[in-house]
Amino acid sequence: MKSKISLLGIAFISGAMVMIFEIIGARILAPSIGTSFYVWTALIGFVLASLSLGYYLGGYWIDIHPKKIWIAFSLLGAALSLMIVFVFKDDVLSWIVNHVKGLKVSAVIASVVLFVPASVFFGTITPMIAKLLLKELDMAGKTMGNVFAFSSIGSLAGTFLAGFYLLPTFSLNYILSGLIVVSIVLASLIFLSENNWLYLLISLLILMIFYISLKNKEVKTTSIYEFESAYNSIKVFPTIDYHTNDSILIMQLGRQRAGAMSLTNRPLPFNYLYYFRLAEYLILSLHQHLCLAEQLIVFQSITSTFILRPHLMW
């Protein structure tokens, strides 16, 4: 009974993690590729294709090797795939932006490289759990229904958790880190229950390596503020304006730079902003011309009056 509950719990959690990963995937792609329907189509399509491939591979493999430990290997594979996304996502997206032309192709390549591997590993888990829980052929329908129900309910919970709480509260890196840690911890618990000390040690070693890489990433990051609002990714980071060689602070919303300030004594961070100050001179010049025009109109009115009615001069 405990084994059944634990397996259904893994189905629930893995279903939730898939949807969380898919939803934050859109935010991962947004700063570099955007949030157009091409991006969403590629992301959703390839995640579904990856899950389908995972269902097939997981079902095929668990029929040959019906052991619980393979679920742990799938979770560990998903964790390693997520770690690759965590470490290299910025480099991959930067390369795509600089070398790939066309939004459709960029969305496809980014979705395949970043989201397919982890989704395939997550997809293998559900059929493995179904196979391990299937004790009697007469109960096959109920068993399969329970497994996929728990997985789907987990996906539903993950969807609302990601959209309503995680994204508005935490940065993408923190959410991605949480998925990695949960995957490794679940794999470690399975290794522990199977008394497989070697792979338990390997799992803990992977977790330690990830923790070290996480600390290094925090040290190397140039952003001084990152936040996922309800509408966009907000990032504030220092950089150099190559036109003026001035140190500036940039606020970026998604792909667009929304504001900047100079970190030196310059009143404006960019040269082109000084053109807006022409408005002051234009308004002043316009005011002077209006005053002159009013004076000319008054003078013309007085002059025409005296010319037409010279007796008024006396």
What's the confidence (pLDDT) of residue 255?
A: 60
What's the confidence (pLDDT) of residue 5?
A: 87
Q: Which of 136, 144, 186 is nearest to 59 (CA)?
A: 144
What's the confidence (pLDDT) of residue 251?
A: 75
What's the confidence (pLDDT) of residue 150?
A: 94
What's the confidence (pLDDT) of residue 143?
A: 84
C-alpha 147/C-alpha 206 separation (Å) is 29
246-283 tens-digit pLDDT: 777 777 776 666 677 777 776 666 666 666 666 665 66
Both tokens assigned to 147: 């497994």
Low-confidence ranges of the chain (pLDDT < 70): 1-2, 136-138, 215-222, 227-232, 242-244, 254-258, 266-314
195-235 tens-digit pLDDT: 889 989 999 998 888 888 776 665 455 677 776 666 667 77
What is the pTM for the complete model shown? 0.75
Q: Which residues contact 77 (CB under 8 A, 6 or more apart)?
A: 117, 121
Angle 41-60-117 from CA coordinates, rounded to 5°: 35
Angle 229-232-237 from CA coordinates, rounded to 5°: 90
What's the confidence (pLDDT) of residue 230?
A: 62
Q: Judge contact between 19 and 159, C-beta under 8 A.
A: yes
Q: Which residues contact 226 (CB under 8 A, 6 or more apart)?
A: 171, 172, 173, 233, 234, 235, 236
